[in-house]
Homo-oligomer: A and B are copies of this chain.
């Protein structure tokens, strides 16, 4: 009697907002391990905004998630069985097994990590793809100079938190934008930003202006829409905007940019990027991020949904900003 693997499939594409009905939980027997293969029990699933784009069947930088297959995503877990000399049971590994309890592979894209000083889950956050995303946009696009002002939206999230803390370390004024008093307090008090603007308070531009008295030199964008309009109006000449995400428009109609001429009059550089296309920087970025986490100089927070079946609801909450810090599913 083979063991069962529980998996979540994408079974339909959203019409407008994504819903839990787009997903389906199934149980599949685990096939015996073949030569060269390794089997991993996943402990954490990473939930990330980019997944929303993959649910659509439209032209984008990545092919769509196929229907009736396991939903994609980063995972962290432990090797439980191995026919591959590179892995042994007990190894902690990060991979891309998606929304399922067990992952089986030939070891490609599977990476052994050391959880002595860095918690396993952090390899899906500050010391993983979100951390490198923040590192790349800040260091390779914004290129902050000491004394400049750097703003980041979704500042309490996995990417935003890293951006602001690295900007502070670079000698900048770091200003976050987040939704709600709790998140803003956390961004300032726990993450050490100089200020955080609550976009839900209803005075986004005015509050942002008050917190950026010298204007904005670098902006790391995760949100788009009205938030982008507001920050654009505060940009200094020769400002740099790293476009990482536009979560505000993922579910519905495209959000226009109200005053694109500011990119010209302020001579801005606006650059979109996808961190997976810059693998050359990962080793340097991960070494720096891992070192900072181990030294407790880089802080983060996690929202844990418990059990595989909670993934769809937690993912939809992430799209609405209901998470607080890096959204994970802890598998039990």
Contacts and interface: CB of A to CB of B under 8 A. Distances in A.
Contacts of A15: none
Contact of A260 (B256, B261, B266): B256
A260 B246 contact: yes
A274 B267 CA distance: 7
Nearest to A273: B267
Given A59-B265, A243-B263, A265-B272, 18 more contacts: A53-B265, A60-B265, A61-B266, A61-B267, A228-B260, A245-B264, A246-B261, A260-B260, A263-B270, A263-B271, A263-B272, A264-B272, A267-B271, A267-B277, A268-B272, A269-B270, A269-B271, A270-B271
Contact of A61 (B53, B249, B265): B265
Contact of A255 (B255, B260, B266): B260
A33 interface: no
A109 interface: no
A264 B277 contact: no
Nearest to A267: B272
A86 interface: no
Interface residues of A, number: 33
A84 to B, nearest CB: 34
A74 interface: no
Contacts of A192: none
Contacts of A61: 237, 265-267
Contacts of A272: 263-269
A69 to B, nearest CB: 22
